[in-house]
Amino acid sequence: MSDLPFGFSNSDDDPDRKKDSGGEQGGSSGQPFGFDPSAFGLGGAGGPAGGFDPAALGQMLTQFGQMLSGMGSAMGQGGQGGPVNYDVAKNLARQQIGSVTPITEGTTSAVTDAARLAELWLDGATTLPAGATRTVAWTAEDWLDGTLDTWKRLCDPVAQQVSGMWIEGLPEEARNMIGPMAGMLTQMGGLTFGSQLGQALGQLSKEVLTSTDIGLPLGPAGTAALLPTAIEAFSEGLEQPHREVLVFIAAREAAYQRLYSHVPWLRQRLLSTVEDYARGIKMDFSAIEEAAQGLDPSALTDPSQIEKILQQGAFEPQTTPEQKQALERLETMLALVEGWVETVVSEALGDRLPGAAALTETLRRRRATGGPAEQTFATLVGLELRPRKVREAAHLWRRLTTDTGVDARDGVWAHPDLLPDSSDLDNPAAFVDRILGGDSGTFHDPIAQLEQTEAREREEKNRGSGETGEGSPDRSDD
């Protein structure tokens, strides 16, 4: 799967594929699929040499209308507005999921018992209390319905930014003449993004083990959700009994719930980092000519052809320094979350489940081979959560537990400024030594440490004002 951000795919320059896709059967425009990029004044075949051709605008809008009509009728409710058409996404995802076997009462009871036992064991491994108020067993469809609201928060910022560029990238004359018809371009983008998201969620729903398997709290707050069918498939071929695997997975879900429930800033910080990434998206709009050649109105009546069209060409974004920083922050936070969960679960289950260490390593390899989480993040924001970072984060949390204790380790989550950064993940020993080299007493009270840091900054600011002769009083605390 592509590692480009959500809504993008690698271009395909294979001339044989272009020939097979009907390039010689184009419309009156003389361009493949009957869509002529010269209408945008971007140098398509037959277009004006100097720029935008107003006479071609009507034909271009008509072609877009045909595409929207074909795609909408094929997938249902295609007229939904917004940067992503979630009706299309849900329909395509449900098509991939297919028939679902209802969960039996016996399976639900087993999930509940496993979660109850896992919570009991976790109480001795972390100071964070239980975060889930209920535990449920989900089918793939339940997962889709229960996580879609969070996917909207993740996808809308990226898709909104990209959709706006469909208009911003047009020549000024075209933007002025399109006017209200600009909504047609936005609708086309929503359908395209909805199709791509639906394909990804449909596949992911059949592979995830819990509501937090991707690292983010996708489900409703306070709800721990396990997917028994996926867990059973995951257990096949393992030497551990299925019940032990179920308890292990339940413990991981419970640990995630504890962290996200009792670290109130964490959920919002992760989602806002995705928004920071979206705001930095830039692209070379001249690529529209190649992308437009992949839009075949006749193919849009067949949903199975849509994925092929999406893979044949799109706008390739330019990575900006702001995006790189946002992705690094997101990767670091996800690695810290995963590493903490791994550390806490290993401590809680290590002496109780003989296969806990082997299961931990199995999940690590699952990530290393490009599991569903990595694939979805690569499609969404171009992020690949490297297993090395997770391993380093887990090592940092273990070292912190050994040298400072459980209270101090969990106290690091009290404020985002106390968390290790990316360089600390590469050198966890230095982070622990830095903590131990300071006032270890206040480290056990992270808020007190933060207040002391702020006080020192105010003192330094006041000294700086006095040295420069500024006589105005300091109002930093007003």
Enter the tokens of residue 186. Answer: 């936005």
pLDDT at 472: 42
Asked whether the CA dihedral 346, 351, 357, 359 is positive or negative, the reply is negative
90 neighbors 78 (Cβ within 8 angstroms): no
pLDDT at 428: 85
Residue 91, pLDDT above cutoff 90: yes
Pairing of strands 282-283, 317-318: antiparallel
Q: CA 332, 336, 340: angle at the middle one, nearest 5?
A: 170
Name the residue with tokens 């109002």.
475
Separation between Cα atoms, residue 255 and residue 121, nearest integer Å: 11
pLDDT at 145: 96
pLDDT at 26: 37
pLDDT at 433: 81
Separation between Cα atoms, residue 423 and residue 195, nearest integer Å: 38
pLDDT greater at residue 23 or residue 303: 303
Average pLDDT in the chain: 74
Enter the tokens of residue 253. Answer: 């879900």
pLDDT at 83: 81
282 bridge partner residues:
318
pLDDT greater at residue 90 or residue 288: 90
Give the residue-averaged pLDDT of 275-294: 61
Residue type, 420: P
Separation between Cα atoms, residue 194 and residue 91, nearest integer Å: 9
pLDDT 10s digits, 9-39: 343 444 343 444 444 433 333 332 233 333 3
pLDDT at 274: 78
pLDDT greater at residue 478 or residue 54: 54
Instruction: Quickly state the pLDDT bin for 237 (edges 50, 70, 90).
Output: confident
Residue 328, pLDDT above cutoff 90: no
Q: Give the closest residue to 386 by CA, choosing from 227, 236, 254, 215.
A: 215
Separation between Cα atoms, residue 430 and residue 301, nearest integer Å: 59
185 neighbors 167 (Cβ within 8 angstroms): yes
As to burial, measured by CB atoms within 10 angstroms (0-12 exposed, 13-18 middle, 19+ buried), residue 16 is: exposed
Instruction: Return the exposure string of 294-333: e unless at least 16 CB atoms fall within 10 Å of the residue's CB, then b.
Output: bbbbebbeebeebeebbbbbbbbbeeeeebeebbebbbbb
Residue 463, pLDDT above cutoff 70: no
Instruction: Quickly state the pLDDT bin for 307 (edges 50, 70, 90).
Output: low
Separation between Cα atoms, residue 201 and residue 189, nearest integer Å: 18
Q: CA 287, 273, 281: angle at the middle one, nearest 5?
A: 15
pLDDT 10s digits, 33-75: 233 333 334 344 444 444 445 555 455 555 555 554 544 444 4
pLDDT 10s digits, 337-396: 999 999 999 999 988 998 999 999 998 888 767 655 566 666 655 555 555 688 899 999
Q: Label residue 213 left, alpha or beta by phi (over 0 means left) and psi (-120 to 50 means alpha).
A: alpha
Separation between Cα atoms, residue 467 and residue 301, nearest integer Å: 73
Residue type, 116: R
Q: Give the closest residue to 114 by CA, choosing from 414, 353, 298, 374.
A: 353
pLDDT greater at residue 448 or residue 125: 125
Separation between Cα atoms, residue 166 and residue 314, nearest integer Å: 12
Residue 310, pLDDT above cutoff 50: no
pLDDT at 193: 82
Residue 281, pLDDT above cutoff 90: no
Instruction: Quickly state the pLDDT bin for 242 (edges 50, 70, 90).
Output: very high
Residue 117, pLDDT above cutoff 60: yes
Instruction: Quickly state the pLDDT bin for 81 (edges 50, 70, 90).
Output: low
Instruction: Quickly state the pLDDT bin for 262 (edges 50, 70, 90).
Output: very high
pLDDT at 196: 82
Instruction: Quickly state the pLDDT bin for 7 (edges 50, 70, 90).
Output: very low
pLDDT greater at residue 421 or residue 301: 421
**Residue 117 burial (CB count, 10 A):** 18
Enter the tokens of residue 291. Answer: 């992308």
Give the residue-averaged pLDDT of 95-107: 94
Instruction: Quickly state the pLDDT bin for 285 (edges 50, 70, 90).
Output: low
Radius of gyration from C-alpha coordinates of the chain: 26
* Stretch among 211-225, 261-275, 307-321, 414-428 having the lowest mean pLDDT: 307-321
Residue 471, pLDDT above cutoff 70: no
pLDDT 10s digits, 167-199: 665 666 666 666 655 666 667 777 888 888 888
